[in-house]
Amino acid sequence: MKVRKKIALGMSGGVDSSLSAHLLVEGYDVTSVFLECWRAPSCHTDEDRADALKVALSLNIPFQVLDFKQTYRDSVVQAFFDDYKAGRTPNPDIACNKEIKFGLFYDWAMENGFDAIATGHYAKIIDGKLAIPADKHKDQTYFLYQVSEDQLKHVVFPLENITKPEVRAEAEKRSLHVKDKKDSVGICFIGDIDVHSFLKDELGENPGPVVDLSGNIIGKHNGLWFYTIGQRHGFEIDKRSLITTENGKIERQNFPPFYVVSKKQKENQLVVGFGTETEQSQFSVRDIHWISRSQPENLSNLLVRIRHTGELLPGNLQKNKVKLGEPIRGISPGQSAVFYQKQGEETICLGGAIIDEVVFDS
């Protein structure tokens, strides 16, 4: 008799992980695991745990709760605040996957005799490589670039060949009680919060000037940590300072939207621009991570993504410098640049790095 592999499935109480449980029990010995990482009204922890438990009971599979709240606070949330205070824009979902789901949870599963973990991520594994899944719109490989090839040997993504509409349809067919539950949004495990208020409660306010690319003061901001590169709201512009003067100052009578271009930490200045002023194509990176144990050989024909579900842009990497094939808006220090390559019909995620400093195009 063939022994069924033991799978520890991370269950959030949502439709994706709930359907994953239904799919996995058809071929694996499944234990459902609810990861408790945060307690606040915004994250609906009790409701989500009850939904996950109900699914586990309906399938007659074990259910376990792991308490990772302290580590999540120390390793994910505190880093979130520290980065914003330093003028960067972090991505807590990437940190969450590294520290919690493919950190503590993965380690717990390996130490307790499981053959693999499974999650409801939209991602695919092909020949031991991380790849973009069937649902390219829901693709979550951007958040997963810090996994290793050794880990991927012990990971299952049940939804790799299923689109979100198909997940909903299958959940309806199987009468899952969470079939119409809304997708989780916002910060991993925290939920859809007002980030401005979240930061204000922790960091307060620190008002300062808004300046254009020439250094002219044209408005004011409430604190650099409230803004990210590419943002076009939340700061005040004094339109009187933009009217044409006799000495030939550029006329901006129509007042096009201004976007955040950079932050000057020492001067506490928020730099804004509009149009092509806001677009760059070169930046440096740090903390490069390759999923494979060895660096890929050809880094001259990469596809680069600078935000989740962002366009895959042609680019290359030389040492720690990234050059995109075309300038874009919103390259933000603290976010991640994730690197891909086409391999036949598949798009493989090679790894990624933290965006460090943007080089302004001349």
| 67 and 183 both lie in a single domain | yes
Pick the closest to residue 306 from 332, 327, 280 (CA basis). 332
Q: Which two tokens stand for residue 311?
A: 């366009």
Q: What is the mean pLDDT of the chain?
A: 90
Cα separation, 80 vs 83, whole angstroms: 5
Average pLDDT over residues 231-247: 73
Does residue 137 carry a pLDDT above 70? Answer: yes
CATH of the domain at 231: 2.30.30.280
Residue 136 lies in a domain: no
Q: Which two tokens stand for residue 354?
A: 């933290």
Tens-digit pLDDT profile for residues 16-49: 999 999 999 999 999 999 999 887 666 678 889 9
pLDDT for res 98: 95
| 181 and 38 both lie in a single domain | yes
Q: What one-character DSSP code corresponds to residue 240?
A: G
Single-letter code of the amino acid located at 81: F
Tens-digit pLDDT profile for residues 301-326: 899 999 988 899 999 999 999 999 99
Residue 151 lies in a domain: no
Average pLDDT over residues 147-162: 97
Does residue 252 carry a pLDDT above 80? Answer: no
Cα separation, 341 vs 316, whole angstroms: 11
| 93 and 165 both lie in a single domain | yes
Residue 252 lies in a domain: yes
pLDDT for res 361: 57
Contact 271, 212 (CB under 8 A): yes
Which of these three, 273, 293, 310, is where a domain ends?
A: 273
pLDDT for res 20: 97
Predicted structure pTM score: 0.91
Structural domains of the chain, count: 2
Contact 119, 157 (CB under 8 A): yes
pLDDT for res 297: 78
Does residue 186 carry a pLDDT above 80? Answer: no
| 85 and 11 both lie in a single domain | yes
Contact 173, 135 (CB under 8 A): no
Q: At what angle do helices 45-59 and 15-24 cross, to 10 degrees?
A: 20
Of all residues in the chain, the percent with pLDDT exceeding 90 is 75
pLDDT for res 189: 65
Q: Which domain holds residue 172?
A: 6-120+158-195
Please give the radius of gyration of the chain, using alpha carbons only, rounded to the nearest integer. Answer: 23
pLDDT for res 183: 84
Q: What is the maximal distance between C-alpha atoms in the chain?
A: 89
pLDDT for res 276: 84
- Residue 251 pLDDT grade (very low, low, confident, very high; cuts 50, 70, 90): low
Residues annotated as catalytic (active site), given as ranges: 96, 188
Residue 31 lies in a domain: yes
CATH of the domain at 179: 3.40.50.620
| 116 and 211 both lie in a single domain | no
Which of these three, 150, 168, 195, is where a domain ends?
A: 195
| 219 and 190 both lie in a single domain | no
Residue 309 lies in a domain: no
| 113 and 257 both lie in a single domain | no
pLDDT for res 257: 85
pLDDT for res 184: 78
Poorest-pLDDT segment among 34-38, 40-44, 55-59, 73-77: 40-44
User: Which positions ≥6 away from 277 have C-beta within 8 Å?
Assistant: 213, 261
pLDDT for res 2: 67
Does residue 330 carry a pLDDT above 70? Answer: yes
| 172 and 209 both lie in a single domain | no
